[in-house]
Structures are given as structure tokens and as C-alpha cells.
């Protein structure tokens, strides 16, 4: 089929490559403009741009595609279908209605759950043990279109959002190819989403990474995993940000100390910290302005003490470390 592909981040790259490998005629790849990134704020190209250029595909970058000029460009290309994967722009109706076989979206959740831009983070942060990918015919309302196919996968006990992101990107690419075979044959299902089952996954902010020690052991670990690698889980130590990169299971229940209190220092297990109900083990940390280190190295260098609450911001100022 003749396809116009729209995508921007790494998540979309496996889908683009899979379309190319399976012989579809990709008449145009559309992505967002280059953006400033990093400390130097140098312009960085979107991963989809890099992939398209490497594959020798026609590429355009648009701040917005919702213009009359782009609609005319789209009509001139006469695509059979538009494929969208994490593009980052809401498409207006005359774009969605342009190709005769519709616009198909690859979404990283089991719709109608976790509609929105951060489903992978929130599915972990809310303690779910299963997720997946969904393909759907796009509609005017975001992520509300009719479902074509879904594919489920369990979430690993220690799996981070970054690791799950990579897995779902590949799973979504495979599901996309199955979906397009059905679309091309005119046999694609159209399953309406149940409004009563809708949940939302809002965009994360940097502040969402701050840890709440009053939660139970499972929810605190889920928060760390769900915010890794971005925005990154963090707490405080001696008035400065301390990044929590990895944490292991401790006690699932019981009140052995106040939330944020250090219970145990162990060279192998790390730093056992009390939470609202139980405890967790901090195993890998990154102090402000320093490199990542294991918990044993942190203990040797920063000398936290059992019985103190150095990771609670109010205690920092009081010398609680």
C-alpha cells in the first residue's frame, strides 16, 4: 500500500523500519522539527528523521501539519493509508479522512486504558502487571478511535519504563504489519471503545519524579521504575537532589520505622529505607553533580546513619542525616 508515515521518537522507529522491510510504498515520512537538547541546547533531530534518512525515504518536518497547504500536499500523494506512531500532533479531520483506507495509529497501551501521551510510565506507576499495544482507526477525539487489534504482554517485576518502552515499540511494529494486512483486505475489525473503562495517562513533569516515602513498598518501587529513565525518581540528601536509579524489594508490610528512615546499611543489599508500610532497598544512586554509584559506594562516601531520615526534605534542613 501507499503509506504516509507520521512519527517522532524512538518508539516509532521499529514501525517505520518494519513497513520498509515488508515492502510497503512509503511515499512520505513526516516528523517534528529538530529541537534544542542537552546542556548546550544544540539542535537534535528526531529519531524518526534519522531512520528515514538512513532508509532513503522522502522526509518532511512540520511544526504543524494542520494547514491547508499540507492537506493539499497529502491529497497529491494519494496515500492508501496514514500510519501514525507517537507523532505528537493532533490531526484535523480532513487529514484523517484523506486516505481511502483511513488513518491507523499504534498506541502503547491496552485501550481504552491509559489514553494519552505517557501510558508506559503510568501503567507501571499504578501497579499494573500487564500491558500491551493497540492499533486503531484514528478519530477526532484523541485515542478514542475504533480498535483493530491488541497484543498483551506481562510487565516484569523489575522492568523500568525505559525497558518496557523498547519492548512495546517492537511489539507495536509487528502488530502494525498484521493490522495493515487486514486494512488492505478490508477485513479489519472496528471495535468501539467502552467509555466506562477509559483511563488517562497525562504527560509527566520533572516534579513527578519526587519520591513519596509514605506509600507502601510496592507503590514506591513502582514509582521508581515508572519514572526511569525520565523524569527520574529523586529524593533529597543534605539539601541536594539525590537520584534513585534502582531499588530492590524489602519488606512488603510492617512498621519498623518512620517513612524515609534508614533501617539497615548492607554492603551487598544496599540501604534499607522504611516506607509507609514496609521497606525498600536502595541499590543504585546518583548524587547531585556526581556519577551513578552503587549503594555501598554512596554509604562510604556520604556516611548516612541508621535511625536517621536524611531522605525527607524537612529533615535535611534540621541536620537529619
Class in CATH terms, 206-316: alpha beta
Distance of CA 41 to the CA centre of its chain: 23
For 242-291, how does the pLDDT look when each residue is reduced to its tens digit (9 = 90+)? 999 999 999 888 778 999 999 999 999 999 999 999 999 999 999 999 99
Half-sphere exposure of 269 (CA within 13 A, CB side): 14
Mean pLDDT of 16-43: 94
Q: Which CATH architecture has domain 2-201?
A: 3-Layer(aba) Sandwich (3.40)
pLDDT of residue 254: 78
For 74-90, how does the pLDDT look when each residue is reduced to its tens digit (9 = 90+)? 999 999 999 999 999 99
pTM exceeds 0.85 for this model:
yes
Edge-to-edge strand ranges of the sheet holding 147-154: 59-61, 25-31, 2-7, 81-85, 103-107, 130-137, 147-154
pLDDT of residue 255: 77
Listed by start position, the domains of the chain span 2-201, 206-316
pLDDT of residue 99: 98
Q: Is the pLDDT score of 313 beyond 90?
A: no
Mean pLDDT lowest among 10-14, 33-37, 42-46, 316-320: 316-320
The better pLDDT of the pair 118, 321 is held by: 118
Amino acid at each position: 500500500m501507499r503509506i504516509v508515515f507520521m512519527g517522532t521518537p524512538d518508539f516509532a522507529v521499529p514501525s517505520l523500519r518494519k513497513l520498509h522491510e515488508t515492502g510497503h510504498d512509503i511515499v512520505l515520512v513526516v516528523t517534528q522539527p529538530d529541537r534544542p537538547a542537552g546542556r548546550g541546547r544544540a539542535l537534535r533531530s528526531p529519531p524518526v528523521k534519522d531512520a528515514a534518512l538512513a532508509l532513503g525515504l522522502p522526509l518532511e518536518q512540520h511544526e504543524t501539519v494542520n494547514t491547508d497547504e499540507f492537506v493539499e500536499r497529502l491529497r497529491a500523494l494519494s496515500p492508501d493509508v496514514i500510519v501514525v506512531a507517537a507523532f505528537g500532533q493532533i490531526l484535523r479531520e480532513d487529514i484523517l479522512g484523506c486516505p481511502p483506507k483511513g488513518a491507523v495509529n499504534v498506541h502503547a497501551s491496552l485501550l481504552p486504558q491509559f489514553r494519552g501521551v505517557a501510558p508506559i510510565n503510568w501503567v507501571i506507576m499504578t501497579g499494573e502487571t500487564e500491558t500491551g499495544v493497540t492499533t486503531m482507526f484514528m478519530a477526532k477525539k484523541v485515542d478514542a478511535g475504533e480498535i483493530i487489534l491488541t497484543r498483551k504482554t506481562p510487565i516484569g517485576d523489575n522492568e523500568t519504563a525505559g525497558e518496557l518502552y523498547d519492548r512495546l515499540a517492537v511489539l507495536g511494529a509487528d502488530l502494525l504489519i498484521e493490522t495493515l494486512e487486514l486494512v488492505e483486505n478490508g477485513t479489519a475489525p472496528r471495535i468501539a471503545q467502552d467509555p466506562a473503562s477509559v483511563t488517562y495517562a497525562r504527560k509527566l513533569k520533572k516534579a513527578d519524579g519526587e519520591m513519596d516515602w509514605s506509600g507502601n513498598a510496592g507503590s514506591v518501587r513502582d514509582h521508581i521504575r515508572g519514572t526511569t529513565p525520565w523524569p527520574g525518581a529523586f529524593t533529597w540528601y543534605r539539601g541536594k537532589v539525590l537520584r534513585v536509579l534502582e531499588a530492590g524489594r524489602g519488606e512488603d508490610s510492617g512498621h519498623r520505622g518512620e517513612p524515609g528512615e534508614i533501617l539497615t546499611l548492607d554492603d551487598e543489599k544496599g540501604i534499607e529505607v522504611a516506607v509507609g508500610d514496609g521497606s525498600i532497598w536502595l541499590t543504585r544512586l546518583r548524587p547531585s553533580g556526581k556519577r551513578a554509584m552503587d549503594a555501598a559506594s554512596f554509604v562510604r562516601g556520604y556516611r548516612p546513619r541508621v535511625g536517621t531520615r536524611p531522605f525527607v526534605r524537612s529533615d535535611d534542613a534540621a541536620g537529619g542525616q
